[in-house]
């Protein structure tokens, strides 16, 4: 088999309590509902759960390590070292994820060396909705939050209101995470009557007495329609609530949690990483070129594209292709691979040969950014 060949992958399904028993199973053509919740489909070469080359079982990270220059290409190798710089996932969210934040590159390196972070890489990420997708992302404009808190009418939130009035969003969050657990019940009852905050009442039903419920009052509540996207920079506080989406990120599993989880939380660590800017949730720049729809972010590690039949995929740098519905055929240099829902492939660096996509399905193409 030529070194430029497209290699079909066997991806890893991760099971967490918040996952769906139907979404990934149905995408992959498996019995539904599944016996346990299936939360994430990992496509890539992260050492915790690398995809494997179909037919031989070789982990993708080991495959790359055997020939990093040839498979990754000189530009990626020079910029990111002998590893795939991005990780592609499908998220199937049936219950809220934790309230969390990710470090940037510099803080990830420090945290890995000094604080036990899982990786030495930052974790920006972009998520494209496959279904209606609900998420919390970034601090809402303080004036809008103050108006919602007035409508909520909970006296116990006065310290949060005072911090917002002083322009101290970080202080409002600090109070919520440290003291907000005492007013969760009252907040939940009041939020059920405020349409813009009903997601807060829903969170309280899942996480009673969790201070993260009160912190959620500060965040933008976003509902994405299929094809729409949200961009989460390092330092942006967020929590995905419900839906199915494709997510591309730097090849990192660094997560610090502030609440809405039975797992350990690290409030001081979260506060140290926070991006305090407020305003609407950030979206990537979307560029459409025929069958190629690109979700552009500023990150050099990755770029995500939605592709359909007729797309031509240039061969510079390492690439992943994931089919999310129907079937597609990816062909390069005289060889082809058929991908059906939930199936994926690795396309090694091959600047002399572009790949073509045919078929009636939809797919997502992950490349190095630029």
Contact in structure between 322 and 293 (CB atoms under 8 Å): no
273 domain-assigned: no
Q: Among 28, 63, 32, which residue's Cα sits nearest to residue 45?
A: 63
Task: Write down the residue that tokens 């590690």 correspond to.
Answer: 301
Nearest to 72 by CA among 59, 62, 85: 85
Alpha helices of 119-206 — where are they, by DSSP H? 142-152, 158-165, 169-179, 184-191, 198-206
User: Which residue segment(s) compose the domain that 192 sits in?
Assistant: 138-221
What is the percent of the chain where pLDDT is above 70?
Answer: 99
Which string of DSSP letters, residue by residue, matches 301-361?
Answer: S-EEEEE-TT-EE--SS-EEEEEEESEEEEEETTEEEEEETT-EEEE---TT--EEEEES-
For tokens 């002399």, name the residue.
Answer: 352
Residue 28: inside a domain: no
Best CA proximity match to 220, nearest among 274, 128, 139: 139
What pLDDT, on the 0 to 100 scale, is given for residue 370?
A: 78
**Which position among 105, 161, 257, 303 bears the catalytic label?**
257
| pLDDT score, position 264 | 93
| Total domains, the chain | 1
Phi, psi dihedral angles at 81 (to 5 degrees): 80, -175
* Cα–Cα distance for residue pair 339/329, rounded to 1 Å: 6
Local structure of residue 295 (DSSP, 8 states): E
> pLDDT tens, position by position, for the chain (370 residues)?
455 689 999 999 999 999 999 999 999 999 999 999 999 999 999 999 999 999 999 999 999 999 999 999 999 999 999 999 999 999 999 999 999 999 999 999 999 999 999 999 999 999 999 999 999 999 999 999 999 999 999 999 999 999 999 999 999 999 999 999 999 999 999 999 999 999 999 999 999 999 999 999 999 999 999 999 999 999 999 999 999 999 999 999 999 999 999 999 999 999 999 999 999 999 999 999 999 999 999 999 999 999 999 999 999 999 999 999 999 999 999 999 999 999 999 999 999 999 999 999 999 999 999 7
Length of the chain: 370
In a domain, 102, yes or no: no
Which residues are CB-contacts of 140 (< 8 A; sequence separation ≥ 6)? 148, 218, 219, 220, 278
In a domain, 179, yes or no: yes
CB neighbours (10 Å) of residue 310?
11
Q: What's the predicted TM-score (pTM) here?
A: 0.96
In a domain, 366, yes or no: no
Annotated catalytic residue 257: yes
Whether 154 is covered by a domain: the verdict is yes
Instruction: Indicate whether 15 belongs to any domain.
Output: no
Residue 174 within a domain: yes
DSSP SS3 for 122: coil
């Amino acid at each position: 088999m030529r070194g430029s060949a497209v290699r079909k992958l066997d991806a890893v399904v991760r099971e967490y309590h918040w996952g769906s028993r139907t979404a990934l199973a149905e995408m992959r053509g498996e019995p539904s509902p599944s016996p346990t919740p299936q939360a994430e489909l990992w496509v890539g070469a992260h050492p915790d759960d690398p995809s494997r080359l179909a037919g031989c079982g070789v982990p993708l990270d080991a495959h790359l390590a055997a020939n990093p220059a040839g498979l990754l290409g000189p530009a990626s190798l020079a910029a990111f070292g002998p590893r795939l710089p991005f990780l592609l996932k499908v998220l199937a969210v049936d219950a809220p994820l934790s309230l969390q934040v990710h470090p940037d590159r510099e803080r990830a390196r420090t945290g890995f060396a000094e604080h036990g972070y899982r990786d030495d890489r930052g974790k920006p990420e972009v998520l494209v909705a496959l279904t209606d997708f609900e998420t919390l992302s970034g601090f809402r404009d303080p004036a809008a939050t103050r108006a919602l808190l007035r409508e909520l009418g909970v006296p116990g939130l006065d310290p949060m209101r005072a911090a917002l009035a002083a322009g101290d969003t970080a202080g409002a969050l600090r109070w919520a995470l440290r003291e907000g657990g005492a007013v969760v019940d009252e907040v939940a009852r009041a939020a059920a009557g405020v349409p813009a905050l009903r997601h807060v009442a829903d969170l309280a039903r899942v996480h009673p007495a969790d201070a993260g419920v009160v912190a959620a009052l500060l965040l933008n509540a976003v509902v994405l329609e299929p094809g729409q996207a949200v961009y989460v920079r390092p330092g942006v506080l967020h929590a995905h609530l419900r839906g199915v989406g494709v997510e591309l990120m730097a090849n990192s599993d660094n997560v610090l949690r502030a609440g809405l989880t039975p797992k350990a939380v690290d409030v001081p660590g979260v506060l140290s990483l926070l991006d305090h800017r407020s305003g609407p949730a950030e979206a990537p720049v979307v560029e459409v070129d025929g069958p190629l729809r690109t979700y552009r972010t500023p990150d050099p590690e990755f770029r995500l594209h939605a592709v359909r039949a007729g797309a031509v995929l240039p061969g510079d740098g390492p690439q992943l292709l994931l089919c999310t519905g129907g079937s597609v055929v990816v062909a390069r240099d005289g060889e082809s691979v058929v991908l059906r829902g939930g199936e994926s492939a690795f396309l090694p660096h091959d600047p002399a040969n572009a790949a073509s996509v045919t078929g009636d399905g939809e797919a997502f193409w992950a490349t190095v950014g630029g």
